[in-house]
Amino acid sequence: MSAVEDTTAELQAVADRVIDQAGSGEQIEAFVSRGGETEIRVYQGDVEHFVSAQAEGIGIRVIRDGRTGFAYAGTLDEAAVAEVLAEARSNVEFGTVDEFAGLAEPDGVEPTEQTLWNDTLAEYETDRKIDIAKKLEKLSSGLDPRVRVDDSNYADAWGETAVASTRGIRQSGRENGCYVSVSTLADDGEGDDAETQSGFGFSVGKSPDEFDLDRAAREASERATCLLGATKPASKRVTVVLDPFVTAQFLGVISSTLNGEAVVKGRSLFADRVGDQVAASGVTFVDDPTNPQAYTSTDVDGEGLAARRNVLIEDGVLKQFVHNSYSARRAGAASTGNATRGGFAGTPGVGCLALSLVPGERSQAEIVAGIDDGLLVQQMQGLHSGVNPVSGDFSTGAAGLLITNGEIGAPVREFTIASTLQKMLLDIAEVGGDIDWLPMRAAGMSLVIHDITMSGN
């Protein structure tokens, strides 16, 4: 027996009972979920923070005459569910008429069968989870005498969901996952010459048995120590190589411009550009939550439609945006199975589920060896404030290592890198083969971009 009993059938029954009560002219959707999470933070061998929480609840949408009402409750008590349905119906009266209001309808796409639940993780004992965080801290602090650990973390989450609607949607399932992370500080010098640099490392897995703690510790130590002695560089235009984690952050920015909701609201620089060359030839962006390697892999989206592989930019040409059923209706398109949902307490949004560039073949070391004058970017700060997804303006703080004649050189910091998203995509010179799936909705790999302005001294 799994440590977490499979109760998806019970949740599906709750959702089914709700939609069975639909009246004439009503569209009803019931989204039911149950889940939990564990968060452990270790500092100097002791547990500094521990959270183990569970929650369950239901969210109900009612649509009538173009008006939408929504209500939710953090319980599945039968009386409470009845109250939620009544409240959602009442809230319809306060809704604004929207010609595009409606629920998702089955589109004939069958979910890709995936193994989203891991019994080993579900049965993993708490003491062993704590031991993992402690072991990661010990490994990270033992690689270099200059390195100390700021914190070492273990996290996991599990969830069961069921959705049913009067439009014929009926889906249920469960999934779980886990990761570890460690934050490090490297100290050097004394007195006025003393400095401290930060680093981090992580590992993801379907179960803790898949973690690579040695790699996480090594990366955390190296990220911190490699920036010691960093100076402010001279201003110039350079070729940059984005570290895989930085590339994942960059893809997160790009994903917001490929969001169908942002497009229909006029908040994307790619509005009205389907069919245009928007990136360098050979560059392909794919959102593929059916890829089992993706940390955020899933079989259905937040509305119960099958998650699917969507090619968004192919060989540099913009092909499509990601949509849920509502944004698709507004755009005159079809849902791409990209409804997102934070839980039972909210209505569906839109977003990429597992975005990645199609990787190339070369390692970062091979890429660097072919660059005469460049910059390996290991950190970017202020992405949200320094990037405008409508105009495309891009300017963020950064830190990294200079590249000279194919060799990694001096560390640099306290500078900005600037361009526009439009130009950066067209200036992509190479995508690395070192793909790294992170605990986020985007994958990382080394990414080479020409002609970036580095503003320092």
- Residues 140 and 162 reside in one and the same domain: yes
Domain-embedded: residue 220: yes
Residue listed under structure tokens 């900005």 = 416
DSSP 296-336: T--SB-TTSPBP--EEEEETTEE---B--HHHHHHHTS---
Residue ending a domain, among 159, 190, 225, is: 225
Domain-embedded: residue 139: yes
pLDDT at residue number 222:
96
- Residues 255 and 155 reside in one and the same domain: no
pLDDT at residue number 82:
98
Task: State the residue range of the domain holding 180.
Answer: 8-225
What counts of helices (H) and strands (E) characterise the chain? 11, 20
420/269 Cα distance (integer angstroms): 11
- Residues 212 and 257 reside in one and the same domain: no
328/325 Cα distance (integer angstroms): 5
- Residues 32 and 178 reside in one and the same domain: yes
Asked if 448 and 367 count as a contact pair (C-beta separation under 8 A), the reply is yes
241/367 Cα distance (integer angstroms): 8
Q: Which residue, 360, 371, 379, is CA-closest to 446?
A: 360
Residue listed under structure tokens 């070492």 = 152
Domain-embedded: residue 2: no
Domain-embedded: residue 13: yes
pLDDT at residue number 454:
96
Helix (H) or strand (E) holding 47: strand 46-64
Residue 147 belongs to a domain with what CATH number? 3.30.2290.10
- Residues 221 and 240 reside in one and the same domain: no
- Residues 59 and 81 reside in one and the same domain: yes
- The tally of domains found in the chain comes to 2
Residue ending a domain, among 173, 190, 225, is: 225
Q: Judging by DSSP bridges, how do beta strands 317-318 and 339-340 pair with one another? A: unpaired
106/84 Cα distance (integer angstroms): 25
Domain-embedded: residue 231: no
Domain-embedded: residue 24: yes
CA dihedral 319, 239, 432, 409 (to 10 degrees): -160
pLDDT at residue number 312:
98
Complete edge-to-edge strand list for the sheet that includes strand 195-205: 67-73, 46-64, 27-43, 147-165, 170-188, 195-205
Residue ending a domain, among 192, 225, 258, is: 225
- Residues 337 and 204 reside in one and the same domain: no
Q: What are the tokens at 138?
A: 């010990």
Q: Which DSSP letter does residue 387 get?
A: B
Domain-embedded: residue 230: no
- Residues 213 and 256 reside in one and the same domain: no
Other CB atoms within 10 A of residue 23 CB: 10
- Residues 383 and 451 reside in one and the same domain: yes
- Residues 119 and 264 reside in one and the same domain: no
DSSP 329-383: HHHTS---S-EE--STTS--EE--SSEEEPP-S--HHHHHHT-SEEEEEEEEE-H
CA dihedral 85, 91, 93, 94 (to 10 degrees): -170
Query: Which residues on adjacent β-strands are paired with residue 28?
Result: 62
pLDDT at residue number 1:
37
Domain-embedded: residue 1: no
**Average pLDDT per 10 consecutive residues for the chain, totaling 457 residues:** 80 98 97 98 97 97 98 98 98 96 97 96 97 98 96 97 98 97 94 91 95 97 95 96 96 96 94 96 98 95 98 98 98 97 96 98 97 96 86 96 96 96 98 93 96 94
201/218 Cα distance (integer angstroms): 8
pLDDT at residue number 75:
98
pLDDT at residue number 310:
98
pTM, entire model: 0.94
- Residues 145 and 199 reside in one and the same domain: yes
DSSP 184-253: EEEEE--GGG-EEEEEEEEEEESSGGG--HHHHHHHHHHHHHTTTT-BPPPPEEEEEEE-HHHHHHHHHH
- Residues 42 and 83 reside in one and the same domain: yes
